[in-house]
Chains A and B, each alone.
Chain A
Amino acid sequence: MTYNLAIPAQLMAALGPDLVLMVGAMGLMLYAAWRPESAEHQRRVGFASITVILTTAAAVIWYASSGATASPGVIAVDGFRWACDLIFLAGAAATILLGIESNPRDRVLSAESHVLILFATAGMMILAASRDLMIVFLGVEMMSIAVYVLAGINRSSVRSAEGALKYFLLGAFSTAFLLYGIALIYGATGTTSIPDIGARIVTYSLVHHSMLLIGVGLLLVGFAFKVAAVPFHMWAPDVYEGAPTPITAYMAAVVKAAAFAMFFRVWLESFNLLDGAWLAPIWWVAAATMVVGNVVALSQRNVKRMLAYSSIVHGGYLLVAVASGTSLGSAAFLFYAVAYTLATFGAFAVVSSVSKPGTYATAISDYDGLWTTRPWLAIGFSVCLLALLGFPIFGGAGFFAKWYVLQAAITSPRDLVPLSVVLVLTSVVSAGYYLHLVRVMFMRARPDDAVEPAALAPLTRAVLVSCVGLILLLGVFPNRLAMWARSNALVTSTHPPTAAPPIAP
């Protein structure tokens, strides 16, 4: 069916899954606040949140399979939205599953933490759906505000609070840039509708319009901050280190995926023709992100920080897909997001179970000789690390994710072969730290005084096993995922220009 978004009822209907999630989240928030904090309560709320997520996911799948479309309007009803929603929901579920078990160990007893994840996820779904910069802003803020709180959810930890403060201040700061960019774009084109912006750039030949370009630049600053691209990445390692481990995974994988979802939507549907302006900046930002992220990751001694830099690097790889500026790039993003989310959650599941209770910090040396005492844990972690490295078979889907990005880059009319070479060369650098962890686990002797991590809790084990299993499975049979990604990819601006008011000076 086709939703006519001009009719409020149909607009609401088109927002069905989002509403399911929001309503469920609000209800749970009340329930969470109803009882005093306890491990048992947060567990209950956690499972209830999972239920909400599953319901939402069912709705998303129903909408996706109905093949619904919509008239032009503020939200999109397309495969890309549903695909992104599924990724966000899966990530949120994994976060909650990890959190249910790790929160009590980290003395995080507030049940609201799970609900906040639902809110953040709702914001992401809005982001994925948005087809208007106003909705983009709304989604970004819905997501970010919840995540600010999540980063500082461990009130007993100064590190957690510090991370939250940094994230909040810098996040708000960058939001201002984002917003100013939107204002200028609005000023230049007279609309905040994403497809209309693209159309008006054509109609009024705004390719060299300076207000528009400055606006796009400011918007890019905002986006680059959200995806933690160099040099707007500085917050990421600190925040990731301070946050509870499941939240770190959530930020590293899901929040980043959401930011990229909006990035792709806006870039492909609005600014496809401005590549003369944005190609070089994005090229350099992508290259700098890959180089700096990898190089700094080399010198990390803390696994969480290392993985934080690794997540920065992956943002850089995805920026290559953005730079391709093609529909294929967004397909690559979907594939990449799936693989990267799996690998990230797998890795953080291990980190969370190896870290000593109460401290999120895990030194690389804690992993010395892990293989001798916990072989499967070591093997699972290695698979995730190799997936992050993008190694075939052993790294499973990670390889094909990178492959897809490279494919997008090389087929792009923007000749990104040199950037592809930068990508693979920096990947070699990344082998330096991913493999360092592998060799620490496999090739060093277990110190005599090493504290053996407790046996994996069932939910964490489930997350780890399913992540690793899926990585390996998708690494051998990636075809269905590839086709799914391709069929849900964004389509570059095809909407006809609408009637437009006169142009600002």
Chain B
Amino acid sequence: MLAESLTLSAALFTIGVVGVLTRRNAIIVFMCVELMLNAVNLSFVALSRLYGATGQVFVIFVMTVAAAEAAVGLAIIIAIFRHKKSVNLQDINLLRG
């Protein structure tokens, strides 16, 4: 059961990575990151069956932090939308070189 869970977790993580790499919309990219975090959470939960509560505590931490991150992240995305009227990452390349 453990091995399957970990495999699933890795697959989800990879899907998240691919999503980040391929999507252009800032919000979707951010969602993909959230997917990666949750994939990791799955690993933690699975492993905690083996090692005890530490993994589960970690998951709580991750979820809390992810929530805070989401708040800040969406605020930043809104800020950029106010300037650019777009959240397409391809358009956001003022800073370069």
Number of A-B residue pairs having CB atoms within 8 Å of each other in the complex: 134
**Residues from 19 to 76 in B contacting A, C-beta threshold 8 Å:** 20, 26, 29-30, 33, 36-37, 39-40, 43-44, 47, 50-52, 54-55, 57-58, 61-62, 65, 68-69, 72-73, 75-76
Query: Cβ of B62: which chain A residues have Cβ within 8 Å of it?
Result: 137, 179
Q: Is A275 an interface residue (CB 8 A)?
A: no
A239 to B96, CA, bound (A): 10
**A305 engages B97 (CB within 8 Å):** yes
Q: Is A187 an interface residue (CB 8 A)?
A: yes
Q: Is A403 an interface residue (CB 8 A)?
A: no
Query: Cβ of A502: which chain B residues have Cβ within 8 Å of it?
Result: 50
**A179 engages B37 (CB within 8 Å):** yes
Q: Is A491 an interface residue (CB 8 A)?
A: no
Q: Is A422 an interface residue (CB 8 A)?
A: no
Query: Cβ of A182: which chain B residues have Cβ within 8 Å of it?
Result: 40, 58
A163 to B83, CA, bound (A): 13
A155 to B62, CA, bound (A): 29
Q: Is B8 an interface residue (CB 8 A)?
A: no
- Our pick among B2, B69, B79 for the contact of A145 (Cβ within 8 Å) is B69
Query: Cβ of A85: which chain B residues have Cβ within 8 Å of it?
Result: none
User: Shortest Cβ distance from B58 into chain A, in angstroms?
Assistant: 6
Q: Select the residue from A138, A173, A192 with max chain B CB neighbours within 10 A.
A: A173
Known: A161-B80, A180-B40, A190-B51. A168 touches B72 (CB 8 A): yes
User: Shortest Cβ distance from B75 into chain A, in angstroms?
Assistant: 8
Interface string of A281-318 (1 = CB under 8 A from B): 00000000000000000001010010000000000000
- Our pick among B44, B47, B57, B97 for the contact of A504 (Cβ within 8 Å) is B47
Number of interface residues of B (CB under 8 A): 46
- Our pick among B6, B47, B68, B76 for the contact of A161 (Cβ within 8 Å) is B76
A159 to B83, CA, bound (A): 9
A182 to B58, CA, bound (A): 10
A221 to B13, CA, bound (A): 15
User: Shortest Cβ distance from B10 into chain A, in angstroms?
Assistant: 9
User: Shortest Cβ distance from B60 into chain A, in angstroms?
Assistant: 10
Query: Cβ of A176: which chain B residues have Cβ within 8 Å of it?
Result: 13, 16, 33, 36-37, 40
A275 to B37, CA, bound (A): 28
**B77 engages A165 (CB within 8 Å):** yes
Q: Is A148 an interface residue (CB 8 A)?
A: yes
- Our pick among B44, B73, B92 for the contact of A183 (Cβ within 8 Å) is B44
**Residues from 46 to 87 in A contacting B, C-beta threshold 8 Å:** none
User: Shortest Cβ distance from B32 into chain A, in angstroms?
Assistant: 9
**B20 engages A173 (CB within 8 Å):** yes
**A190 engages B50 (CB within 8 Å):** yes
**A501 engages B92 (CB within 8 Å):** no
Q: Select the residue from B61, B68, B84, B97 with max chain A CB neighbours within 10 A.
A: B97
Question: Which residue from chain A places its CB closest to the CB of B48 in the assembled complex?
Answer: A186
Query: Cβ of A161: which chain B residues have Cβ within 8 Å of it?
Result: 76, 79-80, 82-83
Q: List 11 A-B contacts (CB under 8 A).
A: A161-B80, A162-B83, A169-B30, A176-B37, A176-B40, A184-B43, A187-B43, A187-B47, A187-B50, A305-B97, A501-B51
Residues of B that sit less than 8 Å from A by CB = 2-3, 6, 9, 13, 16, 20, 26, 29-30, 33, 36-37, 39-40, 43-44, 47, 50-52, 54-55, 57-58, 61-62, 65, 68-69, 72-73, 75-77, 79-80, 82-84, 89, 92, 94-97
Q: Which 9 A-B pairs have the closest CB atoms?
A: A176-B36, A238-B95, A158-B83, A183-B43, A141-B65, A190-B51, A161-B80, A161-B79, A172-B33
